[in-house]
């Protein structure tokens, strides 16, 4: 019990750090505002996070009386060494991000979800509210296909939809069987409002599918058990590599007429993946890439080359070695969700795998708390994903 109480205290400290850092990252990377000393504050918070994670690692090991799994510590050190090497093509936030991910597996994931839900709700509600009051300017974006979209006070029209997508998944996984009909209605209404305002389809469709599944499950008194089917288990287990393979099929092995139709429906994302591969190629240890996207006037630049796919962006920027490691870690987490019969988590991971085919938020903790599950592989002490927290 004493050890559990200490873990609860350490989890609280981790969540405080995640709250402060995640809240700032959301403001800096998604909201359509700029403020004085923004970059300096960001760097200070990155240092604060790194120092905090180092001391948390020591405290976690002490809490286990230094009886730790040596292989996990070695894996952690080797992987973090790779992160430091790859950071030459990234920025300081990249190192801070993976320090957070590597340590997250040592703490109660339920509390981590709650922390994400709180700071994301703050950003979504306050940004849209201030936008409606005229205190935050709109970012009118004109894409490659000349579709004009409002951003609701965020820096790009898709940002609110992406945040709400991960918020919806996190909320449904967090609430599970405790969810009420009113909560489901509010979630769907919020998703429809964002979809109607921004015309961002992918997150809306995936969120709605999950909400509908939970609704049906609730109607049947949570007796739906899709994990009893071997095919479903297989699909969830290999969801990420399957989606990566499907994406390659869509890019290279379908009839040209169908490719052009899909590419247009996906706002040119398939063609951008191909041009990215042709322009930069895939390196073992990644490369420095400066994507050209939207200019200051909200127009797609003449040489727009931003690769939206999480899979191909990771492959191009961080290299195939890092990409393979991440795929293995994702399979590990999917397998753990199946073994522990966490049905809602398995569905969420499957939807994230689909979403990541066309959007780049897979490994960004200020967008998604689910990438923090990767730290389970490196945890000092093995535990279930939803290990029960101490009731206070």
pLDDT in tens, 190-211: 999 999 999 899 999 999 999 9
- Do 230 and 357 lie in one domain? The reply is yes
Which DSSP state fits 122?
H
- Do 161 and 284 lie in one domain? The reply is no
Residue ranges making up the domain that contains 307:
225-361
Q: Is the pLDDT of residue 241 over 50?
A: yes
**CB-count burial class (<10 Å; 0-12, 13-18, 19+) for 98:** buried
- Do 114 and 48 lie in one domain? The reply is yes
CA distance 244 to 113: 26
The per-residue pLDDT for 391 is: 42
Residue 26: both structure tokens together? 């959301």
Q: How confident is the model at residue 294 (pLDDT cuts 50, 70, 90)?
A: low
Q: What is the mean pLDDT of the chain?
A: 92
- Do 83 and 196 lie in one domain? The reply is no
Q: Count CB atoms within 10 A of the CB of residue 333.
A: 22
- Do 211 and 277 lie in one domain? The reply is no
- Do 32 and 65 lie in one domain? The reply is yes
Q: How confident is the model at residue 304 (pLDDT cuts 50, 70, 90)?
A: confident
Contact 239, 353 (CB under 8 A): yes
- Do 271 and 304 lie in one domain? The reply is yes
Q: Is the pLDDT of residue 300 over 70?
A: no
- Do 287 and 339 lie in one domain? The reply is yes
pLDDT tens, position by position, 36-76: 899 999 999 999 999 999 999 999 998 887 777 788 889 99
Q: Is the pLDDT of residue 150 over 50?
A: yes
Which residue, 315, 342, 331, is CA-closest to 247?
A: 315
Q: Is the pLDDT of residue 386 over 90?
A: no
State mean pLDDT over 300-319: 88
Q: Taken in order 127, 128, 133, 135, is the CA torsion positive or negative?
A: positive
Whole-prediction pTM: 0.94
CA distance 379 to 105: 5
- Do 261 and 308 lie in one domain? The reply is yes
* Ranges assigned E (strand) in the chain: 141-142, 148-149
- Do 230 and 202 lie in one domain? The reply is no
pLDDT tens, position by position, 328-360: 999 999 999 999 999 999 999 999 999 999 999
State mean pLDDT over 159-178: 98
Percentage with pLDDT > 70 across the chain: 92
Domain count, the chain: 3
pLDDT tens, position by position, 99-138: 999 999 999 999 999 999 999 999 999 999 999 999 999 8
pLDDT tens, position by position, 69-99: 788 889 999 999 999 999 999 999 999 999 9
Question: Which of 86, 109, 136 is a domain's end point?
Answer: 136
């Amino acid at each position: 019990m004493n050890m559990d109480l200490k873990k609860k205290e350490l989890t609280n400290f981790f969540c405080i750090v995640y709250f402060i850092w995640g809240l700032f990252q959301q403001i800096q990377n998604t909201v359509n505002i700029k403020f004085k000393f923004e970059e300096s504050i960001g760097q200070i918070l990155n240092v604060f996070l790194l120092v905090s994670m180092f001391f948390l690692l020591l405290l976690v090991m002490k809490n286990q009386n230094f009886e730790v799994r040596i292989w996990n510590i070695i894996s952690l050190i080797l992987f973090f060494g790779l992160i430091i090497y790859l950071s030459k093509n990234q920025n300081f936030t990249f190192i801070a991000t993976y320090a957070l991910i590597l340590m997250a597996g040592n703490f109660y994931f339920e509390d981590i979800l709650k922390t994400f839900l709180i700071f994301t709700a703050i950003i979504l509600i306050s940004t849209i509210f201030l936008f409606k009051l005229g205190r935050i300017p709109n970012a009118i974006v004109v894409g490659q296909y000349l579709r004009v979209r409002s951003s609701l006070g965020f820096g790009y029209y898709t940002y609110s939809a992406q945040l709400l997508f991960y918020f919806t998944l996190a909320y449904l996984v967090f609430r599970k069987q405790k969810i009420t009909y009113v909560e489901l209605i509010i979630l769907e209404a919020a998703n429809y409002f964002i979809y109607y305002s921004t015309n961002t389809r992918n997150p809306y469709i995936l969120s709605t599918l999950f909400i509908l599944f939970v609704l049906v499950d609730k109607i049947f008194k949570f007796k739906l058990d899709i994990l009893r089917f071997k095919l479903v288990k297989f699909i969830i287990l290999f969801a990420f590599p399957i989606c990566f393979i499907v994406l390659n099929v869509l890019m290279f092995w379908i009839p040209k007429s169908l490719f052009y139709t899909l590419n247009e429906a996906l706002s040119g994302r398939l063609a951008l993946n191909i041009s990215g591969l042709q322009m930069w190629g895939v390196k073992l240890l990644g490369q420095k890439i400066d994507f050209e996207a939207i200019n200051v006037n909200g127009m797609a630049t003449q040489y727009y080359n931003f690769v939206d796919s999480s899979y191909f962006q990771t492959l191009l920027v961080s290299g195939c070695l890092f990409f393979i490691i991440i795929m293995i870690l994702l399979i590990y987490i999917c397998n753990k969700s199946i073994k522990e019969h966490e049905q809602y988590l398995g569905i969420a991971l499957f939807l994230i795998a689909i979403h990541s085919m066309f959007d780049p938020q897979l490994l960004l903790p200020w967008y998604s708390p689910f990438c923090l599950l990767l730290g389970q592989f490196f945890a000092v002490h093995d535990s279930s994903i939803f290990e029960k927290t101490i009731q206070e």
